[in-house]
Chain A
Amino acid sequence: AQTVTQSQPEMSVQEAETVTLSCTYDTSESNYYLFWYKQPPSRQMILVIRQEAYKQQNATENRFSVNFQKAAKSFSLKISDSQLGDTAMYFCAASGSRLTFGEGTQLTVNP
């Protein structure tokens, strides 16, 4: 069975600064994908970024990037130049026959 753990229930950051959200996972699969989802107060879960386990290069999507450490089974999300609209719950997820989600990290961006 897959497990995904997010050890930071809450984090805060000042606008324009950088913040890193942590995620560790466990899976028995040889190839898999990892995802970060964002859930703002509107409740809509939005895909932020994905990483294929076979790719050594870390994925980047504009201000969002990941630090993928396959051996350590770590998959952190870095948000650069934080904006007020980044305030949301962030979920890390691992692929399988279903997506397995972590507990979530509530990120607050302060003006």
Chain B
Amino acid sequence: AQSVTQPDIHITVSEGASLELRCNYSYGATPYLFWYVQSPGQGLQLLLKYFSGDTLVQGIKGFEAEFKRSQSSFNLRKPSVHWSDAAEYFCAVGPSGSARQLTFGSGTQLTVLP
């Protein structure tokens, strides 16, 4: 069975600092990997996705993530955090060939200090 672990429940960073959110997955085949962001009162928004090819993927809002098969990881990074990045971030894994039955991690809440 597929699973996703986000080991950090809550992360606090200062505005302008760099950010890395960790995601580890368990999946028997080649996974499709996603990062979503959820702000209060808003729906989940896709930040980026990995299907194949270059293991470093660029997303919206200046985010990037790197797929490391040997470590079963797909960590999200941003070089300089903005106050508007404060939100909850979810990593998700889906079966190759479709995004239909995504398995989400439990999320990481990001707080940004001024």
Instruction: Tell me if chain B binds chain A.
Output: no
A contacts, CB < 8 Å to B: none
